[in-house]
Amino acid sequence: MTLIADRVGQIKSSGIREFFDIAQRMEDAISLGVGEPDFVTPWSIREACIFSLEKGYTSYTSNWGLLELREMLSEKLHHDDSVYYDPEGELLITTGVSEAFDLALRAIINPGDEVIIHEPSYVSYKPCALFAGGIPVSIETEVGDEFKLRADRIEDKITEKTKAIVLNYPNNPTGATLTKKDLEQIADVANEHDLLVISDEIYGKLTYDGEHTCFSTLNGMKERTILLNGFSKAYAMTGWRIGYAAGNKDIIEAMMKIHQYTMLCTPITAQMAAVEALRCDDETAEMVYEYNRRRRLMVEGLRELGLSCFEPKGAFYTFPSIANTGLTSAEFAKRLLFEHKVVVIPGSVFGDCGEGFIRCSYAVSQYELKEALNRLGRFLVTCGVK
């Protein structure tokens, strides 16, 4: 008897968590590995959670999530992005964006359907497509083109089996963004070929150059787009595990059905904290300002050390090339960790075209960034770079 399902057995464990787990047991390690803000969740949000516990709010909520939270999200999306979603049937509160992404794929994919995913991409996209019975189809992006996903590249990959396109901008791991014109061209392709779009915009508020465009606001895209977002990055609420999906009523209801049987609901305390978070945009703006300072520090520091580095336009990652070291990205990351106690993530875990790069998060203090750069510099000397 085979114990493990084939589709699970063929998937490797997360390359990010591997390095995270090692670093957790290592003294004096500086982690640039996990995309987690070093800011503590703002006090007013934590206080809302504490108050909810004191008041005895420890029950289930509706499978859809708290109506108050959905109503506030509806108002915010309408105010910020000029797109309206009915809180009664077009918004679903999920346990982080990761669950929302999994639900979206399972709700729309039939066995053998193809899902177009641009790379480098977040590590869960391909596995979730496989778990849903789909076939992930990769499109490689290039540093010389600022890691942009181009509409004509999508067009080249479309077949009669193509069901959906996955977008993530600002991008994890590269920090690349897409302009409104770039997105409009992708929307034209989706319209022409009758495709759905799963748009992961968790880093939308962390855009430094230009303005973020919500994909569902584009012509014909509201009904075709499953918009994913959450509170982890912009509100420093990673451990709270709270996200949401917005979209076509039939799709969102199908996602809710899966959520209903597998997760039931997002914890009520996190939902009540999220209600308060939606009133705290001033603190989000302060975080973004600080991330932008760290972004410049990190890019300049890497370049001074002799590593070519694309300047990220959003999120909180740099994706420098380590091609001049003669090491693979995995070799580089492991040696840097064990010899100098700095955690970075090999670019190869984000897709084949990520080989030759490493992902470095700058969501840590400036002191830690400077110390990490010092240690990295000493390591590069041993590699013959400086």
CATH number of the domain enclosing 165: 3.40.640.10
Any alpha helices (H) in the chain, and if so which ranges? Answer: 6-9, 15-24, 43-54, 67-81, 96-108, 125-131, 151-157, 180-192, 249-262, 268-277, 281-304, 329-340, 366-382
Report if residue 1 sits inside a domain: no
**Structure confidence at residue 17 as a pLDDT band (50, 70, 90):** low
Q: Coil, strand or helix: which one is 110? A: coil
Tokens of 223: 């009904």
Domain boundary among 279, 310, 333: 279
Cα 167 to Cα 295: distance, rounded to the nearest angstrom: 23
pLDDT above 90 (res 183):
yes
Asked if 261 and 310 sit in the same domain, the reply is no
pLDDT in tens, 219-260: 999 999 999 999 999 999 999 999 999 999 999 999 999 999
Q: Domain holding 34: CATH number?
A: 3.90.1150.10
Residues 239, 198: contact at Cβ < 8 Å?
no
Residue keyed to tokens 């193509």: 162
Report if residue 385 sits inside a domain: no
Residues 345, 358: contact at Cβ < 8 Å?
yes
pLDDT in tens, 267-287: 999 999 999 999 987 788 899
Asked if 208 and 110 sit in the same domain, the reply is yes
**Structure confidence at residue 86 as a pLDDT band (50, 70, 90):** very high
Asked if 78 and 181 sit in the same domain, the reply is yes
Domain boundary among 253, 279, 305: 279
pLDDT at 35: 81
Cα 258 to Cα 216: distance, rounded to the nearest angstrom: 23
Q: ω into residue 87 within 30 of 0, thus cis?
A: no
**Structure confidence at residue 385 as a pLDDT band (50, 70, 90):** confident
Pairing of strands 342-343, 30-31: parallel
Asked if 108 and 229 sit in the same domain, the reply is yes
pLDDT at 15: 63
Asked if 119 and 10 sit in the same domain, the reply is no
Asked if 272 and 145 sit in the same domain, the reply is yes
Q: Coil, strand or helix: which one is 18? A: helix
Q: Coil, strand or helix: which one is 125? A: helix
Asked if 122 and 139 sit in the same domain, the reply is yes
| Size (the chain), residues | 386
Identify any residues that bridge with 360 across adjacent strands, giving them in sequence order: 318
In this prediction, residues 167-191 reach a mean pLDDT of: 97
pLDDT at 316: 96
Domain boundary among 230, 251, 279: 279
Report if residue 72 sits inside a domain: yes
Any alpha helices (H) in 132-179, and if so which ranges? Answer: 151-157
Cα 244 to Cα 230: distance, rounded to the nearest angstrom: 6
Q: What is the mean pLDDT of the chain?
A: 94
Report if residue 386 sits inside a domain: no
Looking at the 3D structure of the chain, how many domains does it have? 2
Region for residue 169 given its phi and psi (left: phi exceeds 0; alpha: psi -120 to 50; beta: otherwise): beta
Asked if 204 and 271 sit in the same domain, the reply is yes
- 316 closest CA partner among 201, 210, 173: 173
Cα 186 to Cα 5: distance, rounded to the nearest angstrom: 35
Asked if 86 and 132 sit in the same domain, the reply is yes
Asked if 226 and 185 sit in the same domain, the reply is yes
Contacts of residue 2, Cβ cutoff 8 Å, sequence gap at least 6: none
Q: What is the pTM of this model?
A: 0.95
**Structure confidence at residue 112 as a pLDDT band (50, 70, 90):** very high
Q: Which amino acid is at 25?
A: R
pLDDT above 80 (res 14):
no
Residues 322, 304: contact at Cβ < 8 Å?
no
Report if residue 189 sits inside a domain: yes
pLDDT at 386: 64
- 294 closest CA partner among 361, 343, 232: 361
> How many CA atoms lie within 13 Å of 135's alpha carbon, on the beta-carbon side?
12
Asked if 110 and 159 sit in the same domain, the reply is yes
Q: Which amino acid is at 40?
A: V
Domain interval for residue 333: 6-41+282-380
Cα 117 to Cα 139: distance, rounded to the nearest angstrom: 6
Asked if 353 and 314 sit in the same domain, the reply is yes
In this prediction, residues 350-379 reach a mean pLDDT of: 96
